[in-house]
Structure 1
Amino acid sequence: MTDLETPVAKPPRAGALRRAAPALLGYAGVRALGLVVLAAWSAANGKSAHTLLTARWDALWYTRVADLGYGWEVRLPNGDVHSNLAFFPLLPWLERLGSALTPLSSADAGLLVSTAASLAAAWGIFAVAEHVYGRRAGVCAVLVWAVLPIGVVQSMAYSESLFTALAAWSLYAVLTGRWITAGLLAALAGLTRPVGVAVVAAVWVTAVMSFVRDRSAPGPDGAPRWRRALGMLLAPLGAAGYVLWVGRRTGKGPLGYLDVQAGWRNGFDGGYAFARFVADKFTSFPSALAGVGLIVGVALVVWLYVTCVRQGQPLPLLVYSGVVTALALCASSYFGSKPRLLLPAFPLLLPLALALSRLRTPRSAAILGGVAAASAVYGAFWLNGSGPP
């Protein structure tokens, strides 16, 4: 094989969609169940499920970016400034495009984008899990992701589904030696959410390690050096481009985006504020139960990551989920949103998927079905309440 020959990784098989079909159908079924329960719960409370999905919290901010552009801000009585510059542009761009090409409003276009992206994310998760552990584990991984208690966000006009789709397929491209594709998708992920840096880190660390392991022209995946280098070059362009643009617009230089986040009282403090938030829960008995729940939740996340390491997950998955987890748990504000911020960290679910895949089908189906029902009820309750953004 010469330096410029095609990488070892083979193009997707013609039956790729057929292989993923059980996972995608199961995913669609879980999400449909969640929407039915949400519609019934909302109707009983005199609310519109459609409005809850398209015009609450971040969804409303994305729509405003799509309709009004950047520059909208809200000044709170305490002096904080909430600027829409905090929201990365890819979802609003797609909402505006969808609204321009169809009769849909920007909000409805966002819901359509999120729905399509959630299916693409499910397929990407299946592709990654199948590549690492086999088809059965791939199906289970998608279903576990679908039945997460916070899974209703996958059906909202939020950016989580879009980001997870781009991240999953970028990671799959890394795993299969498609470095340019990985870099392009990482760049798009970086235009979607700040946590896009996790995808960039996965591409960079894996590429650097491949250079270290192999000093000849083609790497261990068969990819020529220039492809890996180009993938590395492309990966950070989305996130870096937006952050630099915000810095120029605000007149505060490369760190201008951090000032925008500070206006939302959000930042990275290594988890100190979150630890204080949890500790404060133990000042009274009722809230102490919530504190115990938070500690158990964090311990579960840490345990899952350690299990991923012990099971020998591929490096890009460990880097990606590690960065997503660190950014979610160590953010200094919006503590109730942490489960949602962890939603894209799907590699953490692979140990659970692998365990389910080893059970007999009736037993695993019963477990997933029960959790799906509980998740649907929780999602409807959460979205009809005042819950976290």
Structure 2
Amino acid sequence: MSEHLAPDRTAGLPAPSTTSGRDRARKALRAAAPALLWYAAARLTGMLILAVATHLTGKDALHLLSNRWDSVWYQRVAADWYGYEVRLPDGSVHADLAFFPLLPALERGLSEALHIGLATAGLTVAWTASLVAAWGIYAVGARLRDHRTGVILAVLWGVYPTAFVQSMAYTETLFTAAAAWLLYCALTDRWIIAGTLATVAGLTRPSAAALIAALGITAVVTLVRDLRAPAPLGQVLRLRWRMIAGTLLAPLGWLGYVAFVGIRRQDPFAYFTIQGDWGNHIDGGAALAGFLWKNLTGPVPLAGLGLCAAMALLAWVVWLCVRQRQPLPVLAYTIALVMLSLIGAAYFGSRPRLMMPAFPLLLPAAVALARWRPVRARWTLAALAVASGAYGTITLLGSGPP
């Protein structure tokens, strides 16, 4: 799994040609069809398990997917815009300004256009975005390796342990769709589109900082390499102006929302204060270390050992991605998103969900599975789909958020 990636220049979206954009889109969709179909099958497996469990327990599966935890906050923003707060018994305040505006805006727009409820609109956005994300993930995997690897990569994302969130009215699918296509655009030198997608992601989740960092790091490394060639500055700027422009576009969405919160609260740091009130401030990993230590020294130390093993597995997978020599924008995004997920003081159980958009972590496994006989690979993915569906059902029927 540590061998270097050999990009397939014909995979994903077709290269520019004399054919029309519509024809190129049809060819791209036809190439991605197996990935989309198998991804959908994986998610439908999880939905079927949830439907059976909710039928047996007398609960409503669609309600669990559209009206729990963060999805309720997004719908409230969609209905009444910002301004809602909850004061907890300990005196802390949870404000809806912690939630970025793109998903609520899409929910509101779709609800009014189709005359459907906000909950239904939220699921429609999330499910549609999940297919767009699976397509983008396939395109990245196919370009970096081959068609078969791209298909398996998309399916692996659909059977991720917390993949049930991909079927909820959450922002994970919307963000991952922007991230996957941004990385594809960066790999194919479509920098203006990449920067625009980073702006979109920046209106979706705070973790867009990982995408902004990935584009920025890639641009700096590329420009330094060009200047050390050596090449005249003017020539470099003429050659790389699209990269520079895309990189400058990237943070506008994220900065725009932070500025909006600052103006609304008349405090330039208001957004960070609000996130701190939610317990989502950056602490350098202190909360994570404390949680691990508490479990290691608690009444069930095996739980702590299991968490340490999970962290070791994560570190090993990141190392495999490095050894695989994934392209710089892909690797920078992955590492940045993993770090953001670990150095915050957020609820520990949410960290796997926060890392779910880091789909390149699954690329070493996709490369390995692509070498297996098709029947063996399919049965493995089917087993993972069942396990993921069962885990998601248990979580959704529980009390804590993912």
TM-score range for the pair, normalised by the shorter chain length: over 0.9
SS at the partner of 2:169?
Answer: coil
Could you tell me how far 1:36 is from its partner in structure 2? 1.0
Where does residue 157 of structure 1 map in the other structure? 169
Give the structure 2 partner of residue 197 of structure 1.
209
Task: Give the counterpart letter for 2:317 in structure 1.
Answer: L
Structure 1 residue aligned with 2:15, among 1, 5, 10?
10
C-alpha distance in structure 1 between counterparts of 2:305 and 2:52, whole Å: 32
1:128 alignment partner, SS class:
helix
Which residue of structure 2 aligns with residue 343 of structure 1? 356
CA deviation map 1:158-197 (0-9, x unaligned): 0000000001101110000000000000000011000001
Secondary structure, counterpart of 1:224 in structure 2: helix
Equivalence for 1:184? 196
Matching of residues 96-111 of structure 1 within 5 Å: 96-111=108-123
Of 263, 267, 273, which aligns to 2:281? 267
Aligned pairs, how many?
377
Residue 232 of structure 1 corresponds to which residue in structure 2? 247
Letter in 1 for 2:401: P
CA distance in 2, matches of 1:386, 1:228: 46
Question: How far off its partner does 1:218 sit?
Answer: 7.0
> Are 1:144 and 2:156 counterparts?
yes
Q: Does 1:366 align with 2:379?
A: yes
Determine the C-alpha separation between the residues in 1 that align with 2:312 and 2:143: 28
CA distance, structure 2, for counterparts of residue 121 and residue 52 of structure 1:
22
1:37 to 38, 49, 52: 49
Q: CA–CA distance in 1 between the matches of 2:238 and 2:322?
A: 26
Residue 83 (structure 2) pairs with residue 71 (structure 1): yes
Q: Is the 8 A contact 1:177 1:223 kept in 2?
A: no
After superposition, the C-alpha distances for 1:72-124 in whole angstroms (9 at most, x for unaligned) are: 11000101110010001110010010011012111111100000000000000
1:68/1:214 CA distance change after superposition, 3 Å: same
Q: Whole-Å Cα distance in 2 between the matches of residues 325 and 163 of structure 1?
A: 15
Aligned amino acid, residue 354 of structure 1: V
Structure 2 residue identity aligned to 1:231: G
- Give the drift of 1:15: 1.6
Within 2, Cα distance between the matches of 1:266 and 1:377? 28
Query: 1:363 is matched by which residue type in structure 2?
Result: R
Alpha-carbon distance between aligned partners in 1 of 2:328 and 2:117, rounded to the nearest angstrom: 41
Deviates further, 270-279 or 222-231: 222-231
Alignment of 1:102-141 (within 5 A): 102-141=114-153
The one of 295, 298, 308 aligned to 1:281:
295
Instruction: Tell me the CA shift for residue 17 of structure 1.
Output: 1.0
Pairwise CA distance, 1:223: 8.5
Tell me by how many angstroms 1:282 deviates: 2.5
State the 1:283 CA deviation.
Answer: 3.4
* 1:244 equivalenced with 2:262 (yes/no): no
Assess, with a 3 A threshold, how the Cα gap between structure 1 residues 10 and 60 changes in structure 2: closer, same or farther.
same
SS in 2 for 1:82: strand
CA deviations 1:298-334 (Å, max 9, x no partner) are 1111111111001100000111011110011111121
Output the CA distance in 1 between the equivalents of 2:71 and 2:303. Answer: 27
For residues 333-380 of structure 1, the C-alpha deviation after alignment (integer angstroms, 9 at most, x for no partner) is 211111100110101110011110111111111111111111111111
1: distance between equivalents of 2:157 and 2:97? Answer: 30
Tell me how large the CA RMSD over aligned residues is: 1.6
Partner of 2:4: none
SS at match of 1:321: helix
1:310 match: 323
Within 5 Å, give how 1:316-327 maps onto structure 2: 316-327=329-340
Distance 1:284 1:191, change over 3 A: same
Taking a change above 3 Å as real, the CA distance of residues 77 and 30 of structure 1, as seen in their structure-2 partners, is same
1:74 match: secondary structure: strand
Aligned mates of 2:276, 2:149 — CA distance in 1: 41
Q: 3-state SS of the aligned residue for 1:164?
A: helix
Which is further off, 373-382 or 177-186? 373-382
Superposed CA deviations along residues 226-271 of structure 1, whole A, max 9, x for unmatched, are: 2112101111000000011111111111x21110011112211111
**Gap change, CA 1:223 and 1:64, over 3 Å in 2:** farther
Q: Which residue of 2 aligns with 1:3?
A: none
Secondary structure (helix, strand or coil) at the match of 2:94 reads strand
